[in-house]
Amino acid sequence: MLKKSLFAVALMAFLAVPMMAGDLKVHAWDVTCTYTKMKLDDVKVYLKMPYFIKIGKQDLKIDLVQLGSSMDFEGTAVDKDGKTPKLSANFDASLSTTITPTADGLLIQGDAGKWSTTISPSVIDGSPVPAIGVEMTITAKVVGADLTKLAVCNTYHVATVEIWVIPSGTPGCTVSCP
């Protein structure tokens, strides 16, 4: 008898636990079997906004043109439609570029040549209001090119410009998040 009583008390305690956990939502459909959809609960969805930066069209290229009669060549980046690249960001950022000549680029650079690159603007103000469609100017230049190293009338891939970005301000504190 004691075992049965203990079992009954344990069963009652087990059944009482869900009642203490909070409101239970119970749904029942009528016995005519005409089921209808009933809302069971709402689940809130949150997003902690991450850093975002994007160059509009990413098929950028720079065609170098000769500057006057010198052995200096310079060009500005455009997309495949010939338009100036645009940048969008939701945080303050500093931009920079580096240039790496290819094997052909090293040939025309020669001993006296020098490669350089620039980007403008170099600072983006994307916080608290996102910067959308900011026009960028990215240039590449070689000074003192030696044109005796490559065949005439061919197009050569002579360098690659890399675009670098870093959030401005104190790490983790560029955007105030509650």
Quick one: pLDDT band at residue 163, thresholds 50, 70, 90?
A: very high
Contact 136, 121 (CB under 8 A): yes
Distance CA 104, CA 106 (A): 5
pLDDT tens for residues 56-110? Answer: 888 899 999 999 988 999 999 999 999 999 999 988 899 999 999 999 999 998 8
- CATH topology (fold) of 53-167: Immunoglobulin-like (2.60.40)
pLDDT tens for residues 4-60? Answer: 555 555 555 555 555 555 566 666 666 777 777 888 899 999 998 888 899 988 889
Report the length, in residues, of the chain.
178
pTM reported for the whole predicted model: 0.70
Distance CA 175, CA 169 (A): 9
Residue 160 φ/ψ, nearest 5 degrees: -130, 130
| pLDDT at residue 174, rounded to an integer | 47
- Domain edges within the chain: 53-167
